[in-house]
Amino acid sequence: MTLAELEIAKAESLKEISAATTGAAVEALRIKYVGRNGSIPALIKAMKDVPKEERPAFGKAVQAWRAEVEAALGAKGEAKVTEAKVDADLTLPGRWFGLGNKHPLSRVIEESAAIFSRLGFTVADGPELETRFNNFTALNTPPHHPSQDRSDTFWFNDDCLLRTQTSPVQIRTMMGNKPPVRVICPGRTYRRDTTDATHSANFHQIEGLYVDTKPVSLADLKSVLAYFAKEMMGDGVTVRFRPHFFPFTEPSVEVDFTCHVCKGKGCNVCKQSGWIEVAGAGMVDPRVFKHVGYNPEEVSGYAFGFGVERIAMIKYGIPDIRWLYENDVRFLSQLG
C-alpha cells in the first residue's frame, strides 16, 4: 500500500464508522480495523516490506490512522451508552443509597439544644484544652481539691489541662458578656477514669447557665429542668433535688429524673428507687461572680451540668457506655 492508498483507506474507514448506527455494527468495524487480525495491525506487520527510506513516514501515517479510528470508535461507544440510558425503563425504582443514622450522642445534644432554645437559651462553645483558672480557680475549686489531682486529670503542664467538665464555658461566657446570659454548652470532657460499662476517660456534658440582674431562684432552675425532663424523656417524668456540694454553686443539688421506665414505681433500671440521677446543679456561688467581674450584689443565677452519655443510655436503654464509641453499625442502626 502506498501513502496515497493509505489516506483513501483511512477516509473510507472513518466514513464507515460514522455511518454505523448499532452497537453491533460499531463492534464489527472495531474488529475490521483495529482487531487482532484487523487491517491496521496487518499493515504494521507488513512494515518490513516497505522500502527503508519510506518507512518512517509510512509508520507515522499508520499510527495516525489507528489513533483516529480508535477515537471515532470511542465516541460511538459513548453515544451508545447515552442511548442505552434513555432507552432504560425510567419507571424503575431508583438505586438505594443506604441512609445512615445520627449517633445517639449527637441526637441528645441536638435535641437538648432544641429544647433549651425554646426557653431562650443559646449554645456556647469552648475549647477542650483549658487553663487551670477557667476549669478550677474561677469555679472556686481550690488547688487541694481532689479533682485537680494529677491522678484524676490530664495535665499538659502546670496551667493547662484537658477540661474535666464543661463548667469552664460558664466562665468564658460571663467574662465575654454582660448579664443577662442564658446558655447551654455541650462538649467533650476528660477524666482519668478507667473505662468500664459506665465510665469512660472521655465523655460529654451539657452545661447550663442563667444569670440575670432580676432575682433568679432555685424554683426557676427546677421548673426549667422539669420542662427539659418532660421534653427529653416523655410525659410523667419530673425532677427531684437532693442536697449536694459543688464548689461553684451554693446551695448545690443533685438532680434526679423520675425513672422513665416505671414512671417512679420502682424497677430494675432505677434499682427500685423510682429515680435516676442525671445532673448536678445549684445557684451560682458569689465567689464565681467575683472571679468573672460580676457584682454578686447585683446578679444571681443558676447553673447545671449533665452527662450526655447518661441521658443517651437511659433514653435508649443502652447498658454499656463503650457501645457509644465502638462505631458498630449493628448497634447504631438499631436507633433509626
Residues that bind ligand DAH (CB under 6 A): 165, 167, 207, 246, 249, 280-282, 303-305
Pick the closer one to ligand DAH by CB: 279 or 324: 279
Task: Identify whether the C-beta of residue 192 lies closer than 8 Å to the C-beta of residue 151.
Answer: yes
CA 226 vs. chain centroid, Å, equals 29
Residue 217 CB, shortest distance to ligand DAH, in Å, is 14
Pick the closer one to ligand DAH by CB: 58 or 289: 289
CA distance 150 to 288: 24
Report helix, strand or coil for 324: helix
Cell 466562665 -> residue: 171
Residue 252 CB, shortest distance to ligand DAH, in Å, is 6
Partner residues linked to 281 by β-bridges: 253, 304
Question: What are the strands of the beta sheet with 122-123, ordered from one edge?
Answer: 122-123, 181-190, 202-212, 300-307, 275-284, 249-258, 239-246
Pick the closer one to ligand DAH by CB: 66 or 163: 163
Residue 134 CB, shortest distance to ligand DAH, in Å, is 12
Cα distance from N-terminal residue to C-terminal residue, the chain? 72
For 242, phi and psi rounded to 5 degrees?
Answer: -120, 140
Residue 316 CB, shortest distance to ligand DAH, in Å, is 22
Pick the closer one to ligand DAH by CB: 28 or 218: 218
Pick the closer one to ligand DAH by CB: 13 or 141: 141
Report helix, strand or coil for 37: coil
Residue 96 CB, shortest distance to ligand DAH, in Å, is 43
Pick the closer one to ligand DAH by CB: 13 or 189: 189
Residue 118 CB, shortest distance to ligand DAH, in Å, is 20
Task: Identify whether the C-beta of residue 287 lies closer than 8 Å to the C-beta of residue 318.
Answer: no
